[in-house]
A and B are shown apart, each in its own frame.
Chain A
Amino acid sequence: MRQRLADREGTLAWLFLMPSVIYIIALVGLPFLLAVGFALSDVKSGDPSFDFVGFSNFDAIFDDPVFWRSLGNTFLFTGISMLFIVIFGKVLANILVADFKGKWLVRFLVLLPWTTPVTLGAISWLWLLDSIFSPIDWILRQLGLLGEPGALFGAQSNMYWLGEPGLAMASVIAVHVWRLTPLAAVIMMAGLVAIPRDLDEAARVDGAGYWRRMFEVTIPLTLPVIAVSALFGAIFTFTDMAVVDVLTNGGPNNATQVLTSWAFFKGIDGGDVGQGAAVALFLFPLLLAAAIAILRAVRRLEVR
């Protein structure tokens, strides 16, 4: 009998899937519904009783200018980061598939930003962008670009990378790009490796040069992989707050506040679970749109 059970494919399929399905429903599905519930209630960390309040949490967050600022910052942060991550990732992937001596060392160094836990990588940058001891400022001072009257970046002795709103946003984006580019490169390498060799060879025989092959063979063929990795990265960026939290904690004056860090600030630090959940939930329709876009890209990939 036991033998027969182990051979029945339908039963086996369910037995194999059940643990994952139960686990995911219990710890992703239910919490998601609970988050919706929180967003419609007045739960606070000091007063955990659950009273239905309709959409008043949403009204409250929509009235808060910080929310709109965070929303705008989230799009700005995601959009600009992704643009650079895709471009640099593509370049990096092309470098890493080329043959050269010392490749293992280059690969090792290039992967460091991604394999390092994000908070630690961000701490390195926090020190690199320190308001007084930044070595970047030191180099600028040595070059006479900073700290003298009439210097290009001004007469003050430091740039205050994380203290000026515009510079702070640029810094947060730069660190995020630095951290995710290696991952994008690895995914795009996978796409490059998957291109049939003979196609590239055929183009080469037909006399197409490097750039021509790049833009007419390689990029069109790897476009779905690039699209998928870009969307993955966008979701990752959209929901990430570690870099923001370590570098600026949303400051100066909410200039780098994003939706996730604002939700954390409201829901955990501020104890207003209902409003925090409402802010976090606001991410969901945007993520769903991204998910549909990914699925379409994947489908196009399968058709070919």
Chain B
Amino acid sequence: MYFWRRAGVYLLAIGAAFFCAAPFLWSLITAFKQNRDLYNPANNPFVFNRPATSDHVLYLFTKAAFGTFAWNTLWVGLLVVLITLALSLPAAYALARLDRPWAGWFGIAIFLVYLVPPSLLFLSLSRIVVAFGLQDDTFSLVLIYPTITVPVSIWLLIGFLKAVPRDIEEQAMVDGYSRLGAFWRAVVPLTFPGIVAVIVFAFTLTASEFIYALSFVSPSTEKVISTGVPTELVRGDVFFWQSLQAATVLVALPLAVVFNLFLDRFITGFTQGAVKG
């Protein structure tokens, strides 16, 4: 009985892992194939019928602006994360701790903002981006992306902040810090796991955003990965399949590694936000 249950767990785990990762495995094989091998429907698609080649992976960096897209995604993501923290950490503290009678309603209002999706706003926001003179400029994404990340980050951080014992700030204030000082010196360091969760979550959201990036930015040097790869490596009907697949794997692996490192903290944050919120 015990044996079968263990076997069942392993079987399910392996099955789940396979279904989730199979497309990436297929990408990985494809990325190193020669054209003559790839474009022959009679060939077994899962093995190399001709020697592997790294030409198509190198093409990403030498001929396509993959490096530029990756760099744009990275700096946009980092700036958005900074703005998100600067806005959401104080806001979450005010809602979680400063005991205002309207804090509950405010929390709900912010939650509702999270429900206003990009698909509702992209037409008017693209006008606003033009009005700011940021049309076709990657910087427009830095301006707009916090609209996606701030509400959800406030929501996550409220949970973490509520978990910090009140005694700690009170002690800090007894020790002579002001309320502001207690927040900065005593509470923020203890909320570090929550801050990490927000950083990872905000970065992931930013990196995969699609509608805004597609409607605000069209020159290829200003594009980010999520729009640059699908638009620049597809020319009309010609798909640069190996390079496309290589790009997918190159982006997917590091993001998943980082996210995995912080998964437990992320889960804790969600629990506190949802159950104690």
Contact = CB atoms under 8 A, between A and B. Distances in A.
Interface of A: 3, 6-10, 12-17, 19-21, 23-24, 27-28, 30-32, 34-35, 37-38, 91-92, 95, 98, 100, 102-113, 115-128, 132-133, 135, 138, 157, 178, 181-182, 186-187, 189-191, 193-194, 210, 225, 228, 235, 238-242, 245-246, 259-260, 263-264, 267-268, 273, 276-277, 280-281, 283-284, 287-288, 290-291, 294-295, 298, 301-302
A16 B91 contact: yes
17 contacts: A10-B100, A17-B91, A23-B87, A28-B113, A92-B16, A109-B18, A109-B21, A115-B252, A116-B248, A116-B255, A124-B26, A127-B241, A228-B274, A242-B208, A268-B126, A268-B215, A298-B277
A283 B119 contact: yes
B274 A260 contact: no
A12 B87 contact: no
Contacts of A115: 204, 252, 255-256, 259
Given A104-B260, A107-B263, A277-B123, A20 B274 contact: no
A280 B93 contact: no
B195 interface: no
B41 interface: yes
Interface in B198-216: 204, 207-208, 210-211, 214-215
Q: Which of A9, A290, A301 has the most chain B CB atoms closer than 10 A to its own CB?
A: A9
Given A235-B115, A241-B211, 15 more contacts: A16-B93, A19-B86, A31-B128, A38-B124, A112-B21, A117-B210, A117-B251, A119-B229, A123-B230, A127-B27, A127-B241, A190-B274, A239-B118, A259-B119, A264-B122
Interface residues of B, number: 100
Q: Which of B86, B127, B146, B241 has the most chain A CB atoms closer than 10 A to its own CB?
A: B127
B154 A123 contact: no
Contact of B95 (A3, A17, A95, A288): A17
Contacts of A15: 90
A43 to B, nearest CB: 9
Given A98-B9, A112-B20, A127 B117 contact: no
Q: Which of B128, B154, B268, B274 has the most chain A CB atoms closer than 10 A to its own CB?
A: B274
Nearest to A259: B119
A6 B120 contact: no
A4 to B, nearest CB: 9
Contact of A105 (B17, B26, B181, B267): B17
B147 interface: yes
Contacts of A112: 20-21, 24, 252, 256
Given A9-B179, A20-B154, A268-B123, A287 B90 contact: no
Contacts, number: 297
Interface in B165-201: 178-181
Contacts of B87: 19-20, 23
Given A115-B256, A291-B112, A100 B10 contact: yes
A183 B108 CA distance: 23
Q: Which of A24, A98, A105, A115 has the most chain B CB atoms closer than 10 A to its own CB?
A: A115
Given A91-B12, A190-B271, A125 B23 contact: yes
Interface in B13-53: 13-14, 16-21, 23-24, 26-27, 30, 38-39, 41, 44-46
Contact of A23 (B106, B150, B239, B256): B150
A116 B115 contact: no
Given A9-B98, A28-B116, A280-B120, A116 B256 contact: yes
B125 interface: yes
Contact of B210 (A7, A35, A118, A181): A118
B160 interface: no
Nearest to A274: B123
Contacts of B270: 186-187, 190
A247 B151 CA distance: 30
Contacts of A30: 124, 128
A123 B244 contact: yes
A122 B234 CA distance: 14
Interface string B248-277: 100110011101100100111011001101
